Homo-oligomer: A and B are copies of this chain.
Amino acid sequence: MRATVFHGAGDIRVEEVPRPHAGVGEAVIRVTLTTICGTDLHIVRGEYAVRPGLVIGHEPVGVIEELGDGVTGYEIGDRVLVGAITPCGQCRACLSGQLAQCGHGHGFEAVGGWRFGNTINGAQAEYLLVPSAQANLAKIPNELTDEQVVLLADIASTGFSGAESGDVRLGDSVVVFAQGPIGLCATAGAKLMGASLIIAVESDPTRAAMARKMGADVVLNQKEVDVISEVRRLTDGGADVAIEALGLQETFENALRCLRPGGTLSSLGVYSGKLQVPYDAFAAGLGDYKIVTTLCPGGKERMRRLMNLVQSGRFDPTPLLTHRFSLDQIVEAYDLFGERRDGVLKVAIKP
């Protein structure tokens, strides 16, 4: 089959690799739509290490092609969405409700739930082996197209979790730092959960416009205004929740400084280096601040819930899908996506 293989920093190729087959508890799906994630860029740039030879990508929509022993209630040909995170459901982490830190049948493993395109072959390919299939195959309602659901596998699930982990309550004020795909979904999530004021921070005009479409009441351009004082003014003393969706010291620190005492910083970004928590930004530890981090929630029940939100019209991810490519054009798609050319937000890849 054709697949996108990582060969080393800066070197991915679409090439022929053996087609997978389903073992006990597994399934194989024929991928009908996938996309490229910011994390894939980190891999291709050599900033996040995976083994050479790995098929990358972790956002699959497809059709069931094979079902291994022990997987029940599905039929060959069922259309399914599979989350980027594929919990086993049967380890200590999963049984504790922490599906993203899945220990594959046993304890906890940091980031263990993220397997596709990280520790096992991924979704930018014609076929995909799905581990723990019983816990991860989410049937797609007939009413929904592949394009309507493909962004739920990761960015919507992650973005929404920023609002959920921040425990956004009716009437809260929320500030969201950065309006890339994840940040835009965090904005949409805050709106869905009943925030009364959503402030997005973004300098790119296309993304700022999309932020308003996703629910932002105000968009602040950090290159033009003092974000911290402006958020404090708009919220009368600080936001209840700040969501960080970029992964930089600056956005992390500003998110903390925008909070009212007792507020929550909900962090989605992937950081590198020594992140600093200035002591004055959290009242030297006496301000009752919370900092929570969240990795994309996965599993078929999460996917079912997100598809329900799309089906009932509560959330429409399709405006984020700005470009379309075939699998054979994926190197070109990576280039466009990586360079943020042409107003790209997310690309659809069709094997």
Q: A107-B237, A275-B277 are in contact. Are A288 and B98 (CB under 8 A)?
A: yes
Chain B: minimal CB distance from A184 (Å): 16
Chain B: minimal CB distance from A236 (Å): 7
Bits for A275-295, please: 1 = Cβ < 8 Å to B, else 0. Answer: 111110011111111111111
A95→B299 contact, CB < 8 A: yes
A346 at the interface (CB under 8 A from B): no
Residue of B nearest to A104 (CB): B72
How many chain-A residues does the 8 Å CB contact rule pick out?
Answer: 93
B275→A278 contact, CB < 8 A: yes
B73→A106 contact, CB < 8 A: yes
A322 at the interface (CB under 8 A from B): no
Of listed A25, A87, A247, residue having the most chain B CB within 10 A: A25
- Give the number of times this chain occurs in the complex, counting copies: 4
A17 at the interface (CB under 8 A from B): no
A238→B171 contact, CB < 8 A: no
A304 at the interface (CB under 8 A from B): yes
B89→A287 contact, CB < 8 A: no
A329 at the interface (CB under 8 A from B): no
B293→A89 contact, CB < 8 A: no
B312→A262 contact, CB < 8 A: no
A275 to B281, CA, bound (A): 10
Q: A73-B105, A312-B217 are in contact. Are A262 and B160 (CB under 8 A)?
A: no
Chain B: minimal CB distance from A320 (Å): 18
Interface members, chain A 249-290 (any B CB < 8 Å): 260-262, 267-279, 282-290
> Which of B70, B97, B308 contacts A97 (CB under 8 A)?
B97
Please name 21 pairs of A and B residues whose Cβ atoms are closer than 8 Å in the assembled complex, sorted by A.
A24-B69, A73-B105, A88-B89, A91-B134, A95-B135, A100-B288, A107-B260, A108-B238, A108-B260, A110-B286, A111-B287, A164-B170, A171-B309, A173-B308, A272-B284, A273-B279, A274-B279, A275-B276, A275-B279, A277-B277, A285-B293
Given A73-B105, A194-B194, 8 new contacts (CB under 8 A): A24-B69, A171-B305, A171-B306, A194-B314, A272-B284, A289-B292, A289-B293, A290-B293
